[in-house]
Amino acid sequence: MKVISLIGARPQFIKEAVLNKAFKKVGVEEIIVNSGQHYDYNMSDIFFKTLGIKSPDYNLEVGSGLHGEMTGKILIEFEKLTMKINPDVILVYGDTNTTLAGALVGAKLKIPVAHVEAGIRMLPKDMPEEINRVLADRISTYLFCPTQRSVENLKKEGIEEGVYFTGDVTYDLYLQMEKDFDYSLYNSLNLVGNEFVVVTIHRDYNVDNKTQLRNILKALVDVSRNKKVIFPMHPRTRKRIEEFSLGEFTEYFEILDPLDYLSFMGLIKNCSSVITDSGGLQREAYYAKKPAFLLMPDPAWHELVEKKMNFLCKPEDLVKMMEREKDYKHIPYIQGKGNAAEQIIKILMENQC
């Protein structure tokens, strides 16, 4: 079996780490194609280095652009490359423009597409990631679901064939890497016990609208009166803060460049809570037994909100909501066994060989 994994954005590099290791273990040929959607060292290369992923075999170097432009460029280049490689399966991950372009290429060339992290649904329906998810699920052959809820979501849309519940690949990664989490930042920033929060914000609905971004930053300034605010900043967010002249707020925070997974998780393990709009961090906070306050209209992981481990917030009630931090109870709920990658590969091998 010859597999292409198409990746290109930060969360995909993280997921690829587990798949790459699992492919190596069973001796399956995996060709890694990086679309180049994320290109800054801290958004891309650092993950290959720190997580031991083999360097991509190809880099399409599409870089940033309008959504259509980026998706279109990947389509053109990835189609040509796929025809040359002629793989048995194309693996795509998550919900980025890279995911959609990869799924489209596979579907058009009649090469089976495997979607890792299928079936997640989130409002607003017009957010770019939701569009990418729904469309990728429609045209994928294998739909690897991280939760039972995602299996149900697909069922509601009439998709039952090729659907497999495997658990979450980022849980695999958490279990594999926990012993290697890097606490040097925690030490060098002189952080004390639980007296700090970690913030990540990058969704278009939060950062591309000046009023919303200002409201979020103001709320974080209020948070900073009680807790140190550690803010590894996505390049999109940094750009918008400059563009909208909102820099005055940032002096209340410890702003960091985007971090590699191990350093980031070293902070998460010790913080008192997480404030985020990231679907990935929502569940990583859960794995680390930390409450997450979500500046999102709708969570990726509804179960965590229902079980009161994640809390949906508006910027104006963030400080009040954070009082719930002290009542946090970690409720284990089974979402796979931490062997999602192994299962994915087993299913592919059984079906493709």
Sign of the CA dihedral 185, 191, 197, 201?
negative
202 has catalytic annotation: yes
Q: Which residues contact 193 (CB under 8 A, 6 or more apart)?
A: 270
Residues 160, 154 contacting (CB under 8 angstroms) = yes
202-231 footprint of ligand UD1 as x/- string (CB under 6 A): x-----------------------------
- Asked if 297 interacts with ligand UD1 (CB under 6 A), we say no
Q: What type of residue is 221?
A: V
- Using only C-alpha atoms, the chain has a radius of gyration, in whole angstroms, of 20
- Provide the greatest CA pair distance for the chain: 59
Classified as helix, coil or strand, 253 is coil
**Residue 131: CB minimum distance to ligand UD1, A:** 8
As a whole number of angstroms, the distance between CA 105 and CA 113 comes to 9
34-53 positions binding ligand UD1, by CB under 6 A? 37-40, 43
**Residue 242: CB minimum distance to ligand UD1, A:** 11
Q: Which is nearer to ligand UD1, 72 or 128 (CB)?
A: 128
How crowded is the C-beta side of 60, counted as CA atoms within 13 Å? 30
For ligand UD1, which stretch binds (CB under 6 A), given 48-56, 90-98, 118-126, 331-339? 90-98
As a whole number of angstroms, the distance between CA 129 and CA 100 comes to 9
Strands (DSSP E) contained in 125-253 are 142-145, 163-165, 196-200, 228-232
Residues 314, 211 contacting (CB under 8 angstroms) = no
**Residue 128: CB minimum distance to ligand UD1, A:** 4
- DSSP 8-class letter at 323: G
Identify the active-site residue in 38, 115, 202, 234: 202
Q: What type of residue is 225?
A: R
**Residue 97: CB minimum distance to ligand UD1, A:** 4
- Asked if 96 interacts with ligand UD1 (CB under 6 A), we say yes
113-152 footprint of ligand UD1 as x/- string (CB under 6 A): ---------------xx-----------------------
- Asked if 283 interacts with ligand UD1 (CB under 6 A), we say no
Q: Identify which of 140, 177, 240, 183 has the alpha carbon closest to the alpha carbon of residue 17.
A: 177
Classified as helix, coil or strand, 115 is strand
- Asked if 232 interacts with ligand UD1 (CB under 6 A), we say no
For ligand UD1, which stretch binds (CB under 6 A), given 91-99, 214-222, 297-305, 342-350? 91-99
- Asked if 243 interacts with ligand UD1 (CB under 6 A), we say no
**Residue 39: CB minimum distance to ligand UD1, A:** 5
Q: Identify which of 274, 283, 282 has the alpha carbon closest to the alpha carbon of residue 232.
A: 274
Q: Which is nearer to ligand UD1, 62 or 230 (CB)?
A: 62
Q: Which is nearer to ligand UD1, 131 or 347 (CB)?
A: 131
For ligand UD1, which stretch binds (CB under 6 A), given 93-101, 107-115, 210-218, 221-229? 93-101
- Asked if 9 interacts with ligand UD1 (CB under 6 A), we say yes
Task: Give the active site residues.
Answer: 202
Binding site for ligand UD1 (CB under 6 A): 9-11, 37-40, 43, 64, 95-97, 128-129, 202, 234-236, 239
